[in-house]
Copies of this chain bind each other. A is one copy, B any other.
Amino acid sequence: MTDHRAARTDNRTHTIMQATLDLAREAGYAKLSIEAVASRAGVGKHTVYRRWPSRGLLFLDAVLSLNTAGLDHPDTGDIVADLREVMTRAAALLGQPPWGPLYQDLIGEAQHDPEVAAALNRRFIEPQTANTLARLEAAKDQGQLAPDFDLDLAFEILSGPLYYRLLITQQPLTHAYIDRVLQAVFAGMSPRPQTR
């Protein structure tokens, strides 16, 4: 039957991705080779190349397959609490193994490989962004945000600092830091004794 074939194929695909994750965790993405992946998976190199055109896209698939937990937005009615919840969950994922280093390597690879960058945006960044923007939109409709509140900018101001810490300074993404960012965006930074 065709089902059996498809099942076998899926099994191999899954085995290869699992081997990719195992090796990436053990030795890091930098030392990940397709030969090693194939060997670890008990699979011929052809079987890998038949499914993925490059190491980067294989790694992308493998890492994104971990995201089954999801970062869907809750809607308790309190936009700030909901954002805090999502950001905290994201920080918990990014801040520690196995996700953190893998995601970091993935973004690193995206800087060299345009295909990886495009796929990462399409399959992960954009859905997550749309998710958050939808939640912000709802909050605006409910009057929790001013009608002229700049949702896109808010999202980037909330996300940017987290990525900056993850990718550049590699400082920890603590609960307290998330609160400070949220506070700044939603309660203002009080730049001057009296606002202009």
Contact = CB atoms under 8 A, between A and B. Distances in A.
A156 B165 contact: yes
Interface residues of A, number: 51
Q: In this complex, which of A145, A160, A170 has the most chain B Cβ atoms within 10 angstroms of its Cβ?
A: A160
Interface in A52-73: none
3 tightest A-B CB contacts, nearest first = A108-B111, A160-B160, A160-B161
Contacts of A163: 160, 163-164, 167-168
B192 A188 contact: no
A162 B157 CA distance: 9
Contact of A161 (B109, B146, B156, B196): B156
A148 interface: yes
A110 interface: yes
B160 A157 contact: yes
A114 to B, nearest CB: 9
A186 B191 contact: yes
A196 to B, nearest CB: 6
A110 B108 contact: yes
Contacts of A107: 108, 111, 167-168
B193 A185 contact: no
A13 interface: no
Nearest to A29: B112
B157 A157 contact: yes
